[in-house]
Every structure is written in structure tokens, then in C-alpha cells.
Structure 1
């Protein structure tokens, strides 16, 4: 790495505490003839993440609709709400997935 021997334990400690930089990690990997890989790894399968997000969006959309309908004394039945929620979720999951993160 081109650093003194006394610097190596400092670099190792910084890695453990999270105080190291990506640049330092890349240099260490290169010095060890390795490839540095930086990644975000989901804690759940992608399908679950997408479905959860579609459910959140559907819930928000229906909450506004349900509120308006109640104000007009036209409240929907629970079964109708559940059916519509599923329709919205399916629409979100079959359309452009990019829209799942739009507000």
C-alpha cells in the first residue's frame, strides 16, 4: 500500500469502527491483489420489497379515496376496499416499477 508498518493497525482499527474511507479500502484491496467490492444487500428478497412498497402506495391512495367517500356519505365496504387495494397493488407491480418510488 505504500504505508509504514505502524500505519496498518490504524487502518485495520478504522475499518472495524467504520471510520475508514472507501479510498483506503480500495488501496488495501489493490495492495493484496484483490478487487474491492462495495454493495448494498437487501435484507429481504426483491419481490417482497416491491410488494411491500406497492402495498404502501395502495394504502395511501385508498386512504385518500376512502376519506373523500366518507365525507360524501358514500363509504365503501371493507370487501370493496380490499378488492380495490389488491387491484392497485397488481397494477403497480405489472407497470413500470420505477413508479413505485414516485411520490
Structure 2
């Protein structure tokens, strides 16, 4: 296994672990800031004083969070004011290996279909078994070699 493949495997493990840790974590209906603040029994005015901002700034940030308009910096500040830690992650809906496998199959299918179309014009088309074999073979090649064009459409 090459160094590049080892590094990729380490990245994949890290992302899959983050996805497992996040589980079914979803933003509460009122947003994280307001939910945690209420759970602590802290008013908006009290959080504002802790952060040295106005009550309106807290309210605006809570509203912005609900529509995706809050910055990471603001979330970090709010978390600190609440005595919490802000965690930011992008986690896949399914295992990375499944995402890669589907993309590799898509690429392989495209290549085999294009090739078979040209071969059919010359009366040399492949049987369905041969087509499936070639798709699987190319798919495995993409996954094994991590071709740089895997995500080029």
C-alpha cells in the first residue's frame, strides 16, 4: 500500500468516526444557541453581558442561526459565552466507502457503456456478463488507485 493510500485511509477513518460520533445529531427547532441558553436558565440579556454585546445582538444571532446566516466566529463566541465548546463538522450521510464505491461504479459504467456503443457499431458488442465484469473491474481499479479524475464528470 502506498503512502498516498495510507493517508487517504486515515482521512476516511477520521471522517467515518466523526459521522459515527455525530449519529443522528440535528439542530434543535429553536437552534443551538437558544436551546443551550434556555437549558442553562440564562436570559438573552445575561448572555449579552457575558459577551459584552447588546441583547439585540444575541437575538439577531439566534435568528441568524435558524436561517443559516450565522458565522462560525459568532457560533464560537456564543458557545464560549455559554461555557460550551463549538464543534463544526461535515459528516457524510453514509460511509465514505459507499460514496466512493457508487462514484467509481458510475465512472466505470460510463466508460464501459461508451466503449460498448463503439464496439457495437463494429459488431463487436459485449455480452451482459462481459459488461458487468468490465464495470466491476474498472470500479475496483478506481477504488484501488484513487484516480484523480474519479470526481470529474
TM value normalised by structure 1: 0.85
* CA RMSD after TM alignment: 1.8
Structure 2 residue aligned with 1:77: 127
1:74 partner SS: coil
| Deviation for aligned residue 1:29 | 1.9
Which residue, 90, 97, 102 being the options, matches 2:140?
Answer: 90
Given candidates 54, 74, 93, the residue that maps to 1:4 is: 54
Q: How far did residue 34 of structure 1 move?
A: 3.0
Q: CA deviation at 1:70?
A: 1.2
Cα shift readout 1:30-84 (whole Å, capped 9, x = no counterpart): 3233332221111111111111011011011112101110121211111110111
TM-aligned CA deviation for residue 95 of structure 1: 1.3
Is the 8 Å Cα contact of residues 51 and 89 (structure 1) preserved in structure 2?
A: yes
CA deviation string 1:1-29 (max 9, x = no partner): 22112321221111112222222112212
Aligned residues: 103
Partner of 2:118 in structure 1?
68
Q: Which has the higher contact order (CA 8 A, sep 6+)?
A: 1
Q: Which runs of 5+ in 2 are unaligned?
A: 1-50
* Secondary structure of 2:55's aligned partner: coil
In the alignment, which of 30, 43, 50 is matched to residue 100 of structure 2? 50
1:99 shift after superposition:
4.4
Structure 1 regions of 5+ residues with no counterpart? none
Deviates more, 1:13-22 or 1:46-55: 13-22
Equivalent residues of 1:92, 1:100 under 8 A apart: yes
